[in-house]
Structure 1
Amino acid sequence: MFTTLQKFRLCVTCKLALQGFQILADSWQFSSAFSNKVFFAMVDFDESPEVSEMLQVMSVPHVLHFSAKSKFTADDIYNFKERGIIAQQMFTWVAERNERWMVNVRTRKPINYYYSFKLGISLAFIGGLVYVLKWNRKFSFNKNLWAVLAVFCDFDVIWSNVDSYTGSPICSKQYTGQTHYIHEVHYFQFVAEMYIISLFHVCITLEILLLDTAATSPMIIINRKIMSMTCLCLVVIFFSWLLSLFRFKEHNYPFHILVD
């Protein structure tokens, strides 16, 4: 694997690829099928530039497979854009080229206690809510309570994978002076990008709540129609921006509304 880990390079994708590569190497090292027939090596571009020049590696991260019996082909280059940066995808690619040695090897991911903690918090919240509703049934018919719960669930869905982006930069400043807040690949996000997506989801949720309020409010009909149409238009606009952002990161996505 060719990568660069120097801080001044600002290559966050390199760090994510290295994490997956380390999981792959550790899975092989601690497996029962471990032998000296398969080796994993990592080369830092800044520490050994001559190796990258010799193999004509012009970009990082870059994963190559060298076989002792067959010639090097284009299939021996790992394609991050098609396969992704996930360790399991990298492992599948390596296993396809070393079936004889890695037939019974499985990936060994590090223990992640985030989901257990999240499950405990969710159960505690649900238990507390049931306890409150048991002693005061007026809460069951409180629209504000259910509105807050809807927004809370929306936040929970948005931030469900926030731990995957821990350590990500806020944005990226190019050598041309332009600042990018949206990353162009689908398997990575900037911190600013997460806030932008969260803002879009919050706006859509609030507009739907206002749309429900407009339909049941005691206002005159003309005001209710104006409020309903305004909220509906805003929902379409924000949802269109979400689709456009998704199309920017996933170029083969075919659907869009208003904005391409």
Structure 2
Amino acid sequence: MPPDFAKVGGAKGYLIRMRVYVATILSTVLILLPSCSISQSEPQAPMSLSQKVSTLNDLSLRRPVIRLDGEKFKNLVRSAPRNYSMFIMFTALKPQRGCSVCKQASDEFQILANSYMYSPGRSSALYFAMVDFDDAQDAFQSMKLNTAPVFIRFPPKGKPKKADTFEVQRHGFDAEVLYRFISEKTGVQFRVMRPPNYFMNIVLLMTVALLAGLIYLKRDSLDFLFQKSTWGVIVISFILVMMSGQMWNQIRGASFAHRDPRTGAMSYIHGSSQGQFVMETYIVMGLHGAISIGVILMNEANTMKDLSDQQRKGMAGIGFAMLVFFFSVILAIFRSKYQGYPYSLGMRSHYSTSATTALVQHPSNCHNSSSTDTKLHHHPSTTIACSNHNSNLFCSML
């Protein structure tokens, strides 16, 4: 402010100073307003191809599966230009969604992406990415998706076609199956490498050491090795282990059980025909073992001459009861996993509505709706429900 204005006193000086202040503020606003309007009117320049490739390379080096929000999905996947393919998993992994099918599919997808990341043939021709429903609901809406998990391959040019969507219901979501799909679409070749399971190696070594120690302690009396009962127990035990699905657990890396994050209820038997839990194999092995014992009791009842007729009849009756009861339990569990299975053994209504309900729950804790897929509502309180399919490999957003 000029010095002359400062010397002017009274009301006249106050009015002069106020006019100077107002004029200064108005001039500043008039200077800044055009620049602000110009910056707001200028649209954001689209990313060039080199910028996209550089961004994807940086993101993939941080983690093999790139996490995409709505903005990244629009800029890196949907907009041109592109000279790369993207294999994207649309999922819902938040705990409040309760979709453990999505978690299992995510684990397999992570194995696939890790294998590609560390393969010698890795290039900028293919990237693996994941879009979570809670992070990018607009991406689900733009793709018209209302189920999860969904795997879609986005080609270098144009939009994905129907053949670019992987059929989870038909093929499952194992890493090896996903690899065959993306390899056929892109021509990219690499080897799927699963992380080693040291637990089974330790168990095998301990078993061998135990058997070796037993043979050493009994080295003066090895007659038990030549007894039919010894080899019968060994053979039956091996058959029970193989029938229960232990090898499937080792290959697929199945979880022990599932806890519902909302209710805390435990599920020990997988509700889908495409999966199983470790605890489920123990239950199935125990049921088959009980059936085997029942058959053995029925067979041995006729050969044990030192027992009275009444005792042998009781022994055979117990064996028959065990056979019927535990086999009906096996059928009830099988019916719960294969919804269209038509056969039962007299315990269909009772067991299926009580014991099976207590043991068998779908891992995503979903419920079947009246329609095949429930409509997707893009709201933070959206919950998950299974599609009305027999294999239940999808979850719908409610």
In structure 1, the residue corresponding to 2:126 is in which secondary structure?
coil
Residue 291 of structure 2: aligned partner: 204
Matching of residue 189 in structure 1 with residue 270 in structure 2:
no
Preserved CA contact (<8 Å) 1:20 1:86: yes
The CA deviation at 1:190 is 4.8
1:52: how far off?
1.4
Question: Which residue matches 1:166?
Answer: 255
State which of 124, 138, 163 in structure 1 corresponds to 2:209. Answer: 124
Equivalences, count: 253
Q: Structure 2 vs 1, CA of residues 126 and 167 (structure 1 numbering), >3 Å: closer, same or farther?
A: closer
Moved more, 245-254 or 30-39: 245-254
Instruction: Give the drift of 1:41.
Output: 0.6
Aligned partners of 2:203 and 2:341: how far apart in 1? 31
Kindly indicate whether the alpha-carbon contact (under 8 Å) linking 1:210 and 1:231 is maintained by their aligned counterparts in 2: yes
Cα pair distance change 1:141/1:232, threshold 3 Å: farther
| Structure 1 residues 149-189: Cα deviation after superposition (integer angstroms, max 9, x where no partner) | 5776467444735563335315x5999xx996643312333
User: Could you tell me how far 1:4 is from its partner in structure 2?
Assistant: 2.1
Q: Counterpart of 2:91?
A: 3
The answer to whether the Cα contact below 8 Å between 1:185 and 1:250 also exists between their aligned partners in 2 is yes
Aligned to 2:147: 59
TM superposition shift of 1:119: 2.5
The separation in 1 between residues aligned to 2:114 and 2:155, in whole angstroms, is 20
Q: 1:184·1:249 contact (CA, 8 Å) conserved in 2?
A: yes
Q: Helix, strand or coil: the match of 1:116?
A: helix
Structure with the higher strand share, 1 or 2: 2
Structure 2 distance, partners of 1:215, 1:134, is: 35
Q: 1:136 to 1:253 in 2, by over 3 A?
A: farther
| Cα pair distance change 1:89/1:195, threshold 3 Å | same
Partner of 1:88: 176
Instruction: Measure, in 2, the Cα distance between the counterparts of 1:190 and 1:56.
Output: 32
Partner of 1:115: 200
Q: Which amino acid aligns with 2:246?
A: S
The one-character-per-residue Cα deviations of 1:99-151 (angstroms, maximum 9, x if unpaired) are 2xx1x311122222233223312322332333244323464588987787577
Report which of the two structures shows the higher radius of gyration computed on alpha carbons: 2
Q: What secondary structure, in the 3-state scheme, does the structure 2 residue paired with 1:88 have? A: helix
Does residue 1:216 correspond to 2:283, yes or no?
no
1:173–1:180 Cα contact (<8 Å) kept: no
Distance 1:55 1:246, change over 3 A: same
How far apart in 2 are the matches of 1:244 and 1:52?
38
The reply on whether 1:134 has 2:134 as its aligned counterpart is no
Per the alignment, residue 105 of structure 1 pairs with 190
Alpha-carbon distance change, 156 to 253 in structure 1, aligned in 2, over 3 angstroms: same
- Note the 1:11-90 alignment, pairs <5 A: 11-69=99-157, 71-90=159-178
What is the distance in 2 between the residues matched to 1:174 and 1:147? 46
**CA distance 1:179–1:110, shift in 2 (3 Å):** closer
Paired residue type of 1:6: K
**Aligned 8 A contact 1:64 1:76 in 2:** yes
**AA of the residue aligned to 1:42:** M
- Separation (CA, whole Å) in 2 of partners of 1:207 and 1:147: 15
The question of whether the paired residues in 1 share the 8 Å contact of 2:297 and 2:318 is answered with no
Which amino acid counterpart does residue 110 of structure 1 have in structure 2? P
